Amino acid sequence: MTGYAKVQSSFGDKKLNIEIKTLNSKQLDLIVKVPAAYRSHELDIRAMLGVLERGKVECILSEENSTSADASFNSDLLVSRYNALVDVANDLHAVDLMHRASLFTTVAAMSDIWNTAASDEVSDEQWQQTAADLQRAIDLCDQFRAHEGSVLEVDFHKHVDLIEDKLRQIPALEGERIDTAKERIKRYLADANVEVDPNRFEQELIYYLEKLDITEEKVRLQKHIDYFRQTMATEPSCGKKLGFVAQEMGREINTTGSKANHAGIQKIVVEMKDELEKIKEQLGNVL
């Protein structure tokens, strides 16, 4: 599910920015970007992010000094890199005053040119605060996704209700389907000018209609609808299960359509398929 959270805090003269972005994915795919000082805690960070369960999750930690008093740059390294770039540009006959300014700006922007008072590792106290801030960002991201989930739940209920309403319209057409089948068979026999025993005719008609009976499909579809609702109401992480239930609903709808042999029922089946497809489109966004 999609989600976003950003948390900013300070520790001494340093500012810490934590940004989490999540996108839809079937598995948990973590991308963690941290300053060098936090590398020893990267596994801890990944373990904390594991509670998000699923999705492409990008977590970025960035640290900066709140003041520039302690910042300096490595002038020797800057000059060396700048001269090296100028030499290459001279060989390419691509150096003028504008290019020299551009090269200087490029070199000056390199992170390792600048030296700050930051230590190679964070202290235990600083890590404890960072972990608390990261947990806060994770909670905010989870709230974002929970809100999206509540919107999807309303949407799912709407489409499931429509499928159920259309299912309830079928029985009214089944009597007409039987009468239509009788009249069609009688017409075929009349056209063939064949004498038929009425009792045998009724027996064959019953056998024919039993093949087209959709009572079991209707009952199973109703049970799947009820289970879909129950799963949404009782299970927190139910996206995969809802996908399986939706597949079963589709199977019963398809069988109903193949047995329908009635234009009105087949139209209802098409409408139910349309609503089910709208559910399937969104199920990929559900944990």
Domain made up of 3-69+122-144: CATH architecture:
2-Layer Sandwich (3.30)
pLDDT for position 53: 83
Position 90 scores a pLDDT of: 78
Q: Where are the domains of the chain?
A: 3-69+122-144, 72-115, 145-283
For range 180-203, the mean pLDDT: 74
Give CA–CA dist 42/35, Å, rounded.
10
pLDDT grade for 222, boundaries at 50, 70 and 90: very high
Q: What does the pLDDT look like over 96-115, one tens digit per residue?
A: 656 677 778 887 777 667 66
The residue that leads in pLDDT, 264 or 203, is 264
Distance CA(228)–CA(226), nearest Å, equals 5
pTM of the model as a whole: 0.65
What pLDDT is recorded for position 134?
A: 95
* Of residues 203, 272, 286, 278, the one with CA closest to residue 237: 286
- pLDDT attached to residue 255: 93
CA distance 61 to 135: 13
Tell me: pLDDT of 41 over 80: yes
For residue 102, the model assigns a pLDDT of 79
CB 59 within 8 A of CB 30: yes
Residue the block writes with tokens 């608390």: 132
Q: Which tops the pLDDT comparison, 253 or 81?
A: 253
Grouping H, G, I as helix, E, B as strand and the rest as coil, residue 54 is coil
